[in-house]
Structure 1
Amino acid sequence: MTILVFGKTGQVATELSPLSDVLCLGRADVDLTDPMACANAIASHRPRAVINAAAYTDVDGAEVEENIAQVVNTRAPHAMARACADIDIPFVHISTDYVFDGSGSEPWTSDHQPNPQNAYGRTKIAGEAAIREIGGRFAILRTSWVFSAHGKNFVKSMLKFGATRGELCVVSDQIGGPTPAREIALACHAIAKALMDAPEKAGVYHLSGTPDCNRADFARQIFNAAKVSCKVDEIPSSQFPTPAERPLNSRLDCQGLEQTFGVRRPDWRAYLRDQLTEN
């Protein structure tokens, strides 16, 4: 049994690659800006399932390259979903909390109405809509604040800056669940296998780490775990402007994932300690 994974060097794909039944495709294997190439890769490999762990994830860059982000985040997943539906195999696609507008303080459920506030979020929700239009054995897994020992993420940025500075300003009004890439990878793998025998479980699900926290508190936890002496000063997002607006409320309701697939929210604090030993 082979599960084909789009993405090779990203955080989730790196965690998937050691699994014995997984084949990861990188940029040298398939061009994500060529949707037909993605579909052809599925047709030629004839896998038992497909996981799309690749995306245009430069949130600020998407503000000026929305056309490229739209191809990678919308048109390519649409082509993948169609190719999977044509041969009746599961398609698992990773999405984001950025499809929501970040209002309120309650966790977002998979039934809440999306309302993205930046280009990245718009291309991701358009990709979701394209996949749902195709139907078949699909699962869309929205997640948030992904971190690991690989690639670029908030944990690695804090460790880099904290090592050279005695004090950092970090926003305290953005709240969400930091999510270990390893747990996202295992969830995608489990969902793909489950959909092989239970296509009725197709749908949209959420996965984020627990407990929810704000970014300033997350930074403090990182420094404490790494034994880095760096003071964290809390500031509102309005004092740290970025090209793309970030949602303030990224809390995700993950009950559907646990009820359907038995996947529970991971405690990100234990994975943070593991990551620090890997760096």
Structure 2
Amino acid sequence: MSFVKALIATWHLSILIMFHLSRMRDLKSFYLGYIKRHCQQDFPKQLSYNRFVERQTSVGVYLLLFLNLRCLGPCTGISFIDSTPLRACHIKRAHQHRSLKGWAQTGKSTLGWFYGFKLHLVINDRGEIITFRITHGATDDREPLKSEAFTNKLFGKLVADRGYISQDLFERLFIDDIHMITKRKRNMKNSLMHLHDKVLLRKRALIESVNDQLKNICQIEHTRHRSINNFCSNLLAGLIAYQALEKKPSLDLEHVVSTLKRA
């Protein structure tokens, strides 16, 4: 009986990852229009759509284990960090929102106020996700970096935006062989920076491209979640689907080296 349950959970996991790779906009159309019609041999014991959504919450642990054990990329010595909002609903409807009430919070990003969560990502120069953390929308961007569990895979250069500026955090990371590089704020004194670090700062848009693909291709953000468990399973399946993409945004190290030589 346990083997049958594990097999069914594997089918659910596969269907969710396939959906995030399919470019279709909603799970219902994908399940009824594609899985039900064309995948009878691959998934013989198919459930109704409502029952499938109910069982979706049971595969969250499997998705988390598969992502952490098999999908995350290695640290190469050049890493980029950023946070992106995951909106639970429009900010004007936050007081009416029910499905994620008690979990989602109001936060602020560079694009304005939002209601939902934050996804903190660290990627390498090949565009692969090294580590991630999900927090409430009101969480400070620097908070995950204070956790050793979040930074234990990192070493070398860590490129971030101005929101991560903190002298105490810089010194703490530097002790752990992590050199955080950020642009300075207007009210900060100018300081010398290695040319290699300046070039890496110009390439920080790499992680913005990763966030764009996660939201627009792998669809980790939408406002149709029925519960917090569905939100988590949808997010984890989207992250796995992104790691399975053949072509990811990446840093051309040869171009960086040639830029340094010309300078």
Higher helix share: 2
> If you compute each CA radius of gyration, which structure gives the higher value, 1 or 2?
2
TM-score normalised by L of structure 1? 0.29
TM-score normalised by L of structure 2? 0.30
